[in-house]
């Protein structure tokens, strides 16, 4: 169940007044709000995921998470917004404010006037024109390309998160680091994402998510624009059937778009465009003609490499050495693999101002309470004489003076601090506190005297000399500031490399690292793991199973009964084979584009066919010593006599570039080669049609052995009438 939205007129951070609910999803609630500081409308999103609930006082409770996880989610939510603010991505509304309160966190951004979610447009109009789809896609690829350069994924691309103005300008909202963490934390990822629009790896607990994950979401969104419905969800897809057949009668733009979407919606991560720039190229270039097969030189080179392939026992396919890593001990830092990840000592009672004193509860009464004029001083009571019961209260900071009882206090001396209270003003003590935005009870530092007050929203407010300069934060943020830390940092740190972590029992998340020698942080920043997982993952084994890893960390195998299963690799030649089981030798062969053991005949057959085709085209000489010779061999000429009887004459058939001759030493039949108008084969017979002649000249060709000297070694083929006819027809 999702929590109930906050009621209208709720005031957040003394600035945003909620007006209505715009939408609610599995991660949060979106409100239309009034920004009292700017004077316009804004959009406020509340972090309210599945598993949280609304308390009667409006605060959000986290029964399925616990306060430690809830605190981490709040910090990630706020930190995401702050990083978006500094990134200034094109077509992404910049957050105005990000803050914690009411037990959760909020992000406010400007409203985009005159725009509607793309989902609404599709619902009203149905499929969009191809030109409009391409326009939206090209705008978003620019945004995502900039975001990916900053190592930020969107992770939730769908029509509901794309705003489209009447001018055609697109805006992208709802970047989701919190969603990434929750996807790792939940056993039901489909509840946190749109199943039909999410890439397959987003539905897997350990799935690698990168730029191609956003490419899938962008292609799925384009599918919804093109057909009015999202694509078939990955679990229901048949990998052997095309997802989007393009009818031949569609125009080029449609076929180009469909071809790009087919690539972008590939189930395997490695089969998709690896960057949005590659996806954009597919959208903007004309479909190329079918790639011709490998040339004879390429086939010969491949056969030579197959013949000479050698590798060391622990050499990694593609280069480097394969190591057999040992799992790290529990608690060892996966970033540097040396230090220990230790919980930080955070105290909610340590003063964030001086970082030395301790906060103590103090009743905010007139005697010893905070001065309503300067807010920083302390009132001290004294009685002018024993006969007078009226007490006087003087501020030890600004000199303001009050006279009377708590039920009716009169400002008798305004003091020297700036304030808006007129001398002689009378109010109850509670009214004076309300006018000065002071609470009760107070938290007072026993060292520096700084005052804090706990607010109904769950935040703790630092009281300054004026309410406008107060600072409100969640208590766990103040505890980090008191320890001299960034308020958004984690609760654990490596004692060697100072990498920052969030740890909750057995669950660990890497938050920040300034040194990343093994690339762990680049691959796993913000991801949720258990300590057991990190024992292997931190050692370089992403799968969590024993096996081999290249020294560069770019290729990983699991060992299974003497075979190697490819977990992942950055080698383009092997990436599409992820999950496949082969021997080490065959992995070396595949890395070089060579056939696996037992499949060499396929390459050699292709090489023989290439030699035959080159002979027929004339690219390969029949006789390297006499390049003008096209054919030389035994044959029989078949001639039909007047009585219908066929006669046969044996001889040698010689075909050169200039002449076709047949016969023995003394008697020969000759004709210029260019007099042959047509040549065809019928089984073993060569049938020649000569210019100006009705009769067909027929030769029965004796097959012969031809040896081609290739770089990979000599190859012998059996040539027949078909080959000669094809050569003469060129």
Phi/psi at 510 (5° precision): -80, 125
**What secondary structure letter does DSSP report for 231?**
P
Instruction: Give pLDDT, residue 388.
Output: 60
Mean pLDDT of 339-360: 94
Q: In this model, does residue 108 exceed pLDDT 80?
A: yes
Check whether the bond before 441 is cis (ω within 30° of 0).
Answer: yes
* List of residues 6+ apart from 246 with CB closer than 8 A: 254, 255, 258, 259
Q: In this model, does residue 309 exceed pLDDT 60?
A: yes
Q: In this model, does residue 713 exceed pLDDT 90?
A: yes
Comparing 8-22, 79-93, 216-230, the range with the smallest average pLDDT is: 79-93
Q: In this model, does residue 634 exceed pLDDT 60?
A: yes
User: Which of 191-227 are b and which e, b meaning 16 or more Cβ less than 10 Å from the residue's Cβ?
Assistant: ebbbebbbbbbbbeeeebbbbbbbbbbbbbbbbbbbe
Phi/psi at 143 (5° precision): -65, -50
Structural domains of the chain sorted by starting position, each given as residue range(s) with its CATH number in brackets: 11-110 (3.30.200.20), 115-284 (1.10.510.10), 322-343+493-591 (no CATH), 359-482 (no CATH), 617-728 (2.30.29.30)
Instruction: Determine contact, residues 153/234, Cβ cutoff 8 Å.
Output: no
Cα–Cα–Cα angle for 283, 289, 290, rounded to 5 degrees: 110
Mean pLDDT of 83-90: 86
DSSP per-residue codes, 515-557: --TTSHHHHHTT-EEEHHHHHHHTTT-TTSSSEEEETTSSEEE
Phi/psi at 11 (5° precision): -100, 125
* List of residues 6+ apart from 123 with CB closer than 8 A: none
Residue 180 or 165, more confident: 165
Q: Model pTM?
A: 0.71
**Among 122, 21, 585, which residue's Cα sits nearest to residue 316?**
585
* List of residues 6+ apart from 541 with CB closer than 8 A: 325, 327, 547, 549, 556, 567
Is 358 exposed, middle or buried, given 0-12, 13-18 or 19+ CB atoms closer than 10 A? middle
Q: In this model, does residue 426 exceed pLDDT 80?
A: yes
User: Which of 39-67 are b and which e, b meaning 16 or more Cβ less than 10 Å from the residue's Cβ?
Assistant: eeebbbbbbbbbbbebeeebebebeebee
Cα–Cα–Cα angle for 81, 84, 87, rounded to 5 degrees: 155
Is 99 exposed, middle or buried, given 0-12, 13-18 or 19+ CB atoms closer than 10 A? buried
Pairing type for strands 104-110 and 500-504 reads unpaired
**pLDDT classification of 704: cutoffs 50, 70, 90:** very high
DSSP alpha helix (H) spans, 285-320: 296-308
Instruction: Determine contact, residues 550/316, Cβ cutoff 8 Å.
Output: yes
* d(C-alpha 569, C-alpha 442), whole Å: 58
- The pLDDT tens digits for 461-491 are 898 887 878 888 889 899 999 999 988 899 9
- The pLDDT tens digits for 613-627 are 999 999 999 998 999
Instruction: Determine contact, residues 407/417, Cβ cutoff 8 Å.
Output: no
Q: What is the dihedral of CA 218, 223, 225, 226, to 10 degrees?
A: 140
Mean pLDDT of 168-184: 79
Phi/psi at 523 (5° precision): -90, -25
* d(C-alpha 233, C-alpha 197), whole Å: 7
Is 665 exposed, middle or buried, given 0-12, 13-18 or 19+ CB atoms closer than 10 A? exposed
Instruction: Give pLDDT, residue 538.
Output: 93
Q: In this model, does residue 206 exceed pLDDT 80?
A: no
**Among 603, 599, 559, which residue's Cα sits nearest to residue 583?**
559
Secondary structure, 3-state, 328-392? CCCCECCCCCCCEEEECCCCCCECCCCCCCEEEEECCCCCCCECCCCCCCEEEEECCCCCCCCCE
**pLDDT classification of 523: cutoffs 50, 70, 90:** confident
Whole-number average pLDDT of the chain: 88
Phi/psi at 589 (5° precision): -65, -45
**Among 333, 359, 370, which residue's Cα sits nearest to residue 481?**
359
**What secondary structure letter does DSSP report for 693?**
-
Pairing type for strands 95-101 and 104-110 reads antiparallel
**pLDDT classification of 252: cutoffs 50, 70, 90:** confident
DSSP per-residue codes, 159-184: GGGEEEETTS-EEE----HHHHHHHH
Q: In this model, does residue 191 exceed pLDDT 90?
A: no
**pLDDT classification of 589: cutoffs 50, 70, 90:** very high
**pLDDT classification of 387: cutoffs 50, 70, 90:** low
* d(C-alpha 557, C-alpha 580), whole Å: 10
Instruction: Give pLDDT, residue 339.
Output: 96
Q: In this model, does residue 187 exceed pLDDT 60?
A: no
Mean pLDDT of 191-213: 78
* d(C-alpha 397, C-alpha 451), whole Å: 14
Structure tokens at 585: 């030798």
Q: In this model, does residue 250 exceed pLDDT 80?
A: no
């Amino acid at each position: 169940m999702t929590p109930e939205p906050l009621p209208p007129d709720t005031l957040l951070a003394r600035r945003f007044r909620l007006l209505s609910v715009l939408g609610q999803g599995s991660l949060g609630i979106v409100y239309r709000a009034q920004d009292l500081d700017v004077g316009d409308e804004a959009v406020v999103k509340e972090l309210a995921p599945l598993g949280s609930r609304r308390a009667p006082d409006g605060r959000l409770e986290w029964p399925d998470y616990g306060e430690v996880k809830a605190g981490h989610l709040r910090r990630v939510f706020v930190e995401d917004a702050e990083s978006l603010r500094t990134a200034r991505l094109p077509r992404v509304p910049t957050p105005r404010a990000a803050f914690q309160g009411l037990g959760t966190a909020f992000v406010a951004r400007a409203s985009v006037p005159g725009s509607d979610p793309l989902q609404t447009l599709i619902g009203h109009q149905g499929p969009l024109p191809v030109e409009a789809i391409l326009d939206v896609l090209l705008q978003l690829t620019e945004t995502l390309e900039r975001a990916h350069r900053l190592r930020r994924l969107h992770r939730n691309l769908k029509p509901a998160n794309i705003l489209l103005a009447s001018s055609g300008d697109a805006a992208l909202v709802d970047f989701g680091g919190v969603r990434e963490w929750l996807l790792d934390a939940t056993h039901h990822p489909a509840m946190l994402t749109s199943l039909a629009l999410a890439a397959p790896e987003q539905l897997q607990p350990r799935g690698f998510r990168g730029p191609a994950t956003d490419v899938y979401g962008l292609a799925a969104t384009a599918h919804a624009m093109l057909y009015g419905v999202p694509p078939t969800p990955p679990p229901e897809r048949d990998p052997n059937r095309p997802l989007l057949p393009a009818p031949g009668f569609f125009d080029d733009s449609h076929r180009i778009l469909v071809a790009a979407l087919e690539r972008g919606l590939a189930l395997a991560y490695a089969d998709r465009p690896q960057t949005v720039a590659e996806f954009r190229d597919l959208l903007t270039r004309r479909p190329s003609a079918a790639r011709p097969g490998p040339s004879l030189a390429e086939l010969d080179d491949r056969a030579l490499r197959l013949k000479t392939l050698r590798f060391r026992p622990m050499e990694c396919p593609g280069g480097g050495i394969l190591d057999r890593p040992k799992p790290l001990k529990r608690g060892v830092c996966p970033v540097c693999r040396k230090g220990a990840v230790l919980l930080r000592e955070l105290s909610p009672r340590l003063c964030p101002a001086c970082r030395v004193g301790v906060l103590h509860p103090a009743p905010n009464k007139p005697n010893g309470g905070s001065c309503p004029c300067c807010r920083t001083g302390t009132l001290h009571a004294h009685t002018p004489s024993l006969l007078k019961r009226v007490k006087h209260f003087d501020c030890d900071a600004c000199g303001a003076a009050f006279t009377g009882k708590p039920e009716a206090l009169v400002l008798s001396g305004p003091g020297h601090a700036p304030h808006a209270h007129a001398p002689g003003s009378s109010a109850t003590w509670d009214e004076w506190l309300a006018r000065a935005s002071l609470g009760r009870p107070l938290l007072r530092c026993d060292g520096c005297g700084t005052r804090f007050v706990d607010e109904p929203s769950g935040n703790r407010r630092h009281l300054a000399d004026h309410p406008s300069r107060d600072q409100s934060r969640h208590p766990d943020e103040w505890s980090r500031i008191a320890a001299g830390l960034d308020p958004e940092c984690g609760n654990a740190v490596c004692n060697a490399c100072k990498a920052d972590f969030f740890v909750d029992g057995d669950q660990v998340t890497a938050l920040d690292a300034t040194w990343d020698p093994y690339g762990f942080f680049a691959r796993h920043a913000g991801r949720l793991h258990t300590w057991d997982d990190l024992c292997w993952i931190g050692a370089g084994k992403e799968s969590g199973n024993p096996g081999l890893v290249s020294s560069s960390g770019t290729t990983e195998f699991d060992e299974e009964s003497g075979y190697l299963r490819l977990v992942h690799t950055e080698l383009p030649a092997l990436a599409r084979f992820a999950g496949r089981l082969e021997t080490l030798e065959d992995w070396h062969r595949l890395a070089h584009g060579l056939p696996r053991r037992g499949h060499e005949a396929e390459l050699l057959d292709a090489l023989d066919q290439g030699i035959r085709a080159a002979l027929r085209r004339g690219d390969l000489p029949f006789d390297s010593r006499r390049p003008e010779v096209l054919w030389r061999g035994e044959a029989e000429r078949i001639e039909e006599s007047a009585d219908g009887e066929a006669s046969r004459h044996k001889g040698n058939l010689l075909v050169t570039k200039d002449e076709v001759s047949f016969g023995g030493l003394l008697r020969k039949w000759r004709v210029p080669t260019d007099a042959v108008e047509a040549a065809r084969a019928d089984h073993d017979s060569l049938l020649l049609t000569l210019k100006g002649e009705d009769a067909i000249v027929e030769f029965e060709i004796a097959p012969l052995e031809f040896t081609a000297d290739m770089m990979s070694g000599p190859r012998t083929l059996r040539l027949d009438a078909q080959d000669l006819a094809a050569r003469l027809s060129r």
